[in-house]
C-alpha cells in the first residue's frame, strides 16, 4: 500500500521533470507555472489535490489497461 | 446541410484567452462551409446578448467556451450564461458543446430534460498544459494544441454533419491518437507528463442525448 505522502512525492517528482516554461490550466481554479504546481501539491490544497487526483486516476488506469483502450 | 452556430468566447484570463483563440479555427471552418456564425466574443459574451441571440437566431449548434461548474457555464468575467434550474430551457432543440469544466455532469443532463437534442461537455475539470513562451500567441502553442485540437474535433465533426454521438467518439479518438503518438515516440518529459492529462480529458468528456425526438 502506497501512502498519501509517497503519492505526493511521486507527483512532485513527475512535475519536477517538466520543462521550466510549462504551465497548466485547471479551468476556473486558474493557471499555474511549474513552481506553483509543485507548491500546491506540497501544501495539499484544492489545486494540489486535483493534480494528485489526475495522477492517481492515471495510475489506476494503467493497472486497468487504459493505454490499451486509448 | 447548412448550420447556424452560436459561439461564446469570453477572453479575460489565460484559460479563456487560449480557448477563445482556438475556437476561431471552428468559426473559420463554419464560415468556409457557408454556415451562419453568431460570435459572442469578449464583452459580448454576456447573458443578455446570449439569450437574445438564442431566441432571435435559433442556432442549431451552440459552442460554449468559458469557465464553468456542475451547474453553470459562464461568459465574460464569469457572468453566468446558463444555469441549472434557471434558463437551461433556452437550449431546447439544440446541440451543445461546452468546452468548460464540469458542466457535463449536471447542466448537461438537465438541459436534455428541458429538450436539448444533445449536450457534449466535461463532467470534471478540463485541464491543459501550455508553453509559457506562447502565452501571447496561443494559436502557435504546440503544447496546448495537444489538448485543444482533440477538443475542437467535436465541433469539426458536428459541422461536418456527424451525429453528436459520432462527434463525441471522433473527439475521443483524436485524444487517443495524440496519446498513442506521445507514447510511441521518443517522448520528452513534457510529452510523457501530458499523457496523464490527455487521458483525464478524454475520460471526462461526456455526451448526453435526448432519446426520442
- Contact at 8 Å (CB) between B172 and B161? no
Using an 8 Å CB-CB cutoff, list chain A residues near B195.
58
CA distance B131 to A23: 6
* Measured CA distances, B65 to A40, A48, B19 (Å): 26, 25, 7
Domain ranges of chain A: 4-69
* Beta-carbon separation of B200 and A57 below 8 A: yes
* Beta-carbon separation of A33 and B132 below 8 A: yes
Q: Which residues contact A45 (CB under 8 A, 6 or more apart)?
A: none
Count of pairs with CB atoms under 8 A, one residue in A, one in B:
92
* Residue B212: inside a domain: no
Residue B23 in grid coordinates: 475556437
Among the partner-chain residues A25, A50, A70, the one whose CB lies closest to the CB of B14 is A25
pLDDT band for position B108 (50/70/90)?
A: very high
> Residue B171 maps to which CATH number?
3.40.50.1460
Q: Which residue range is the domain that position B25 belongs to?
A: 4-205
* pLDDT tens-digit readout, B126-163: 999 999 999 999 999 999 999 999 999 999 999 999 99
**pTM for the full predicted model:** 0.95
Residue B44 in grid coordinates: 459580448
- Which residue of chain A is at minimal alpha-carbon distance from B143? A22
* Residue B211: inside a domain: no
Confidence check: pLDDT of A58 > 80: yes
The reported pLDDT for the residue numbered A69 is: 64
* Residue B90: inside a domain: yes
The reported pLDDT for the residue numbered A1 is: 66
* pLDDT tens-digit readout, A13-34: 999 999 999 999 998 899 999 9
* Beta-carbon separation of B196 and A21 below 8 A: no
Tell me, yes or no, if A15 comes closer than 8 A to chain B by beta carbon: yes
- Which residue of chain A is at minimal alpha-carbon distance from B65? A27
More confident residue, A59 or B134: B134
More confident residue, B210 or B205: B205
- Can you tell me the mean pLDDT for B68-89? 97
Strand duo B61-65 + B4-9: pairing: parallel
User: What's the number of domains chain B is made of?
Assistant: 1
ipTM of the complex: 0.93
Confidence check: pLDDT of B186 > 90: no
Q: Which residues contact B187 (CB under 8 A, 6 or more apart)?
A: B195
Amino acid at each position: 500500500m502506497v501512502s498519501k505522502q509517497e503519492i505526493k512525492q511521486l507527483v512532485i517528482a513527475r512535475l519536477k521533470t517538466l520543462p521550466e516554461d510549462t504551465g497548466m490550466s485547471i479551468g476556473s481554479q486558474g493557471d499555474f507555472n511549474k513552481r506553483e504546481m509543485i507548491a500546491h501539491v506540497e501544501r495539499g490544497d484544492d489545486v494540489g489535490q486535483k493534480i494528485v487526483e489526475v495522477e492517481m486516476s492515471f495510475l489506476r488506469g494503467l493497472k486497468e489497461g487504459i493505454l490499451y483502450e486509448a | 446541410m447548412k448550420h447556424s452556430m452560436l459561439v461564446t468566447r469570453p477572453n479575460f484570463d489565460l484559460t479563456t484567452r487560449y480557448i477563445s483563440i482556438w475556437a476561431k479555427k471552428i468559426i473559420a471552418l463554419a464560415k468556409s462551409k457557408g454556415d451562419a456564425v453568431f460570435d459572442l466574443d469578449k464583452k459580448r459574451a454576456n447573458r443578455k446578448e446570449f439569450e437574445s441571440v438564442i431566441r432571435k437566431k435559433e442556432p442549431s449548434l451552440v459552442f460554449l467556451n468559458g469557465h464553468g461548474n456542475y451547474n453553470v457555464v459562464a461568459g465574460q468575467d464569469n457572468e453566468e450564461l446558463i444555469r441549472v434550474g434557471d434558463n437551461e430551457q433556452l437550449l431546447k432543440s439544440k446541440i451543445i458543446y461546452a468546452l468548460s469544466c464540469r458542466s457535463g455532469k449536471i447542466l448537461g443532463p438537465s438541459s436534455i430534460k428541458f429538450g436539448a437534442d444533445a449536450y457534449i461537455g466535461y463532467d470534471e475539470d478540463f485541464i491543459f498544459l501550455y508553453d509559457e513562451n506562447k502565452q501571447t500567441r496561443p494559436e502557435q502553442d504546440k503544447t496546448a494544441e495537444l489538448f485543444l485540437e482533440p477538443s475542437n474535433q467535436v465541433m469539426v465533426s458536428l459541422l461536418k454533419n456527424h451525429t453528436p454521438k459520432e462527434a463525441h467518439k471522433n473527439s475521443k479518438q483524436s485524444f487517443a491518437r495524440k496519446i498513442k503518438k506521445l507514447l510511441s515516440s521518443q517522448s520528452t518529459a513534457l510529452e510523457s507528463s501530458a499523457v496523464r492529462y490527455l487521458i483525464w480529458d478524454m475520460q471526462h468528456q461526456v455526451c448526453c442525448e435526448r432519446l426520442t425526438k
